[in-house]
Amino acid sequence: MRVSATKNVKQFDSKQLVDGQSNLANKQIDSCVFVMRAGETIDEVLPSWIEQSHLDQNYYCPFNLNIPVHLPRRKNNVEEYAVDPPLSECGSAMSQIVGRQLRTKRINLRHIFSSPALACVQTATQLAKVLRKKRIICVEGGVSGDADSVNGAMSIEGLLKQRYPIDTSYEPIFSKLPDEEFEETVERIVRVFKELSTKEAPCFEVNPLTLEFTHVLHYESGTAKATSWQKIEQGVFELRRGP
């Protein structure tokens, strides 16, 4: 039985990320890896947004200022948006704020590795716009912990039609995810992060489970999950330290 690790994650204040990296502008940052969670999604604040907006294949009625005016058309809007929701307007704005902070600190991102989940790609897109980067988003299913949102995500062709700045030359380590136990999810994420550390740094990882790699992580009590956190912590430390 697959257990979604996202249930064990607390909300992340993006300001903590920026404050924690505030002195990087005056240091050598070639070996740094930036980790950021996707912005706020509609379903986090409006769980019944699909019903309230009367979403179907031909109709969508924005009913709240915090939901987007337009949605990309998908093969099955209701089913796909149920597992792969977009950013809220607040989530989009917060993504831009983080991008502006990075630009203010003169931090030059060379890659943005993003989960295929729509909210993650939209978060990465806001960063790319603020940082004035083109074709910078590397879509990587391996950095996500939610198989449903990855396997139900838009195709690269679909993302390109929405003019998201996708790097089409990037070959993902994982395009699809199998059903996994919690421990298998942890092992995969650590392994993918280690592989991505060989890319030209710094990297900015954008995915639903990035909180697994920050100090604001929270787990339910239990030996298995405590052991899993130790593995993640060790893996990220090795990335930050470098080879």
Q: For the ranges 107-121, 167-181, 184-198, which has the lowest average pLDDT?
A: 184-198
Q: Report which of 60, 62, 91 is spatially closest to residue 73, judged by C-alpha positions.
A: 60
Please tell me the pTM assigned to this model.
0.75
Residues 206 and 33: beta-carbon distance below 8 Å: no
pLDDT digits (tens, 9 = 90+) for 23-62: 444 444 445 667 778 899 999 999 999 999 999 999 999 9
The two tokens of residue 26 are 């005056």
Please report which helix (H) or strand (E) contains residue 120, including its range.
helix 118-131
Question: Among 9-23, 101-115, 191-205, which range has the highest average pLDDT?
Answer: 101-115
Q: Delineate the domains of the chain, giving CATH numbers in brackets.
A: 5-241 (3.40.50.1240)
pLDDT at 101 over 90: no
pLDDT digits (tens, 9 = 90+) for 150-174: 888 999 999 999 999 999 999 999 9
Name all contacts of 53-57 with Cβ < 8 Å and 24+ positions apart.
55/81
Q: For the ranges 23-37, 100-114, 182-196, which has the lowest average pLDDT?
A: 23-37
What is the longest distance spanned by two Cα atoms in the chain? 52
Residues 50, 60: Cα–Cα separation, whole Å:
9
**Strands 203-206, 111-114: pairing kind:** parallel
